[in-house]
Amino acid sequence: MDHFLYKNGVLHAEDVAIPDIVASVGAPFYVYSTATLTRHFQLFDDALAGMDHLVCYAMKAASNQAILQTLAKLGAGMDVVSGGEYARARAAGVPGERIVFSGVGKTRDEMRLALTGGIRQFNVESEPEMAVLSAVATEFGVKAPITIRVNPDVDAKTHAKIATGKSENKFGIPISRAREVYAQAAALPGIDVIGIDVHIGSQLTQLEPFELAYQKVAELTELLRADGHNIRRLDLGGGLGIPYTRSNEAPPLPIDYGAMVKRVLGHLNCEIEIEPGRLIAGNAGILVSQVIYVKEGEDRKFLILDAAMNDLIRPAMYDAHHDIDPVIEPQAGAERAKYDVVGPVCESGDTFATGREMAQMNAGDLVAFRSAGAYGAVMSSEYNTRPLIPEVMVNASEFAVIRSRPSFDEIINRDTIPEWL
């Protein structure tokens, strides 16, 4: 569910008409709904009611300061995967005790940053990382709270590029070696082993892979406790998918996910952390673009937009689907046509959809890419020296630009010319 609906034949973000934003900001741009972000966070928080828990937003999905502050005010923690994300979280007012640091390649500088600024835990991914963290924490005379990410060798049944829980993936340690690695961790100075971390992938549309992984985590918790480890926190990662198409095949709801967590892990009396990103931000944002040309090809029509693969990379990178709707609602029975929906970048990969049937479009018409709030703006670039597009946030009847479009001069002036030129 989201708050991007047609009202009187015009697509709105909450109570703001999309053409009003276009008139102020120009196309293309991303726009986010405060109400949708709030609702989706609350659904997860409510799903784990009755358990000691913290919902840590995976800010890699969408990390604008306005989004982070919106969620922080609701009590969200943050899951970060770089020093830059840690700095963003702290700048948004998130206290260190609500920040979890994940990722396979944490550097010494990132560890120092988190240890001095405050951290809830490090999700450690390897023995070499654990040894380095031990040394850095000892430098500061502190203990670094850690979970160790275990790889349960579970097929997440998702796109290969976003699956992370199989034995061939780069993430975590094999669950078969967990007891050995936990024993090493317990013997290291500057390390406080507090729990277990697991994350099997992104955009999962079934509960079964989660349940298989969590059953293995439950068994491991009992074994590690028997070995003398005080396992008191389970970080279950994120990954619950969102509907990218309007169909009857919606992914499981957060309430169903929460019920499964309680059933499989509730008896352990551990604090539960989850790290949703896409499910909170995905349907909370759309990408608005304008048609530049309608081009007749040999056997097809091309809808050429002012948005491109540098603005929304998911279709080119993952063959991802986004519903593309006209901003002005078509009349009942309006003529329809099939289009290859493309951007202006000089690559054939700059294609959003092939043979997409939609209302007949003309130059100057506006379209909205649905479910574009996650892994949209954060993965954008200035390829072809195309400026990063604005981000806009709506709250009821108000809207504000939360990232402006840079000018060409601003882009060019970031470069420096060596003295010999």
Pairing verdict, β 301-305 and 285-296: antiparallel
Q: Is the pTM of this model over 0.85?
A: yes
CA separation for the pair 124, 401 (Å, rounded): 37
Count of alpha carbons within 13 angstroms of residue 413, beta-carbon side: 5
Please identify which of the residues 346, 418, 420, 421 carries the catalytic annotation: 346
Each residue's pLDDT tens digit, 205-225: 888 888 999 999 999 999 999
CA separation for the pair 193, 173 (Å, rounded): 15
pLDDT exceeds cutoff 70 at 273: yes
pLDDT exceeds cutoff 80 at 247: no
Mean pLDDT of 351-370: 97
Task: Classify the phi-psi angles of 292: left when phi > 0, otherwise alpha if psi is within -120 to 50, otherwise beta.
Answer: alpha
First-to-last C-alpha distance (Å) of the chain? 56
pLDDT exceeds cutoff 60 at 169: no
Please check whether residue 33 is in contact with residue 18, taking contact to mean a CB–CB distance below 8 angstroms.
Answer: no
Lowest mean pLDDT across 243-247, 261-265, 306-310, 358-362? 243-247
pLDDT value at residue 204? 80
pLDDT exceeds cutoff 90 at 166: no
Q: Is 346 a catalytic residue?
A: yes
**247 or 3: whose pLDDT is higher?**
3
Full DSSP string of 291-354: EEEEEE-SSSEEEEES--TTT--HHHHH-----EEESBPPPTT--EEEEEEE-SSSSTT-EEEE
pLDDT exceeds cutoff 60 at 163: no
Mean pLDDT of 172-183: 92
Q: What is the mean pLDDT of the chain?
A: 93
CA distances from 208 to 102, 157, 163, 280 (A): 24, 10, 15, 21
Strands ordered across the beta sheet of 16-17: 4-7, 10-13, 16-17
Q: Around Cβ 286, how many Cβ atoms within 10 Å?
A: 28
Q: In this prediction, what percent of the chain has a pLDDT beyond 70?
A: 94
Count of alpha carbons within 13 angstroms of residue 389, beta-carbon side: 26
pLDDT value at residue 333? 86
Phi and psi, residue 173, nearest 5° = -110, 150
Please check whether residue 340 is in contact with residue 315, taking contact to mean a CB–CB distance below 8 angstroms.
Answer: no
pLDDT value at residue 205? 80
Please check whether residue 171 is in contact with residue 129, taking contact to mean a CB–CB distance below 8 angstroms.
Answer: no
Instruction: State how far Cα 59 lies from the chain centre.
Output: 6
Domains within the chain, CATH numbers bracketed? 4-31+282-412 (2.40.37.10), 34-281 (3.20.20.10)
Helices (H), 106-228: 108-117, 127-140, 178-187, 208-226
Q: How many residues does the chain have?
A: 421
pLDDT value at residue 32? 98
Confidence of residue 141 (pLDDT cuts 50, 70, 90): very high
Each residue's pLDDT tens digit, 104-118: 999 999 999 999 999
pLDDT exceeds cutoff 80 at 398: yes
Phi and psi, residue 127, nearest 5° = -65, -40
Lowest mean pLDDT across 38-42, 104-108, 250-254, 394-398? 250-254
Mean pLDDT of 236-264: 83
pLDDT exceeds cutoff 60 at 160: no
Each residue's pLDDT tens digit, 32-87: 999 999 999 999 999 999 999 999 999 999 999 999 999 999 999 999 999 999 99
Please check whether residue 229 is in contact with residue 182, taking contact to mean a CB–CB distance below 8 angstroms.
Answer: yes
Confidence of residue 294 (pLDDT cuts 50, 70, 90): very high
pLDDT exceeds cutoff 50 at 158: no
pLDDT exceeds cutoff 80 at 406: yes
Lowest mean pLDDT across 107-116, 141-150, 157-166, 364-373? 157-166
pLDDT value at residue 171? 65
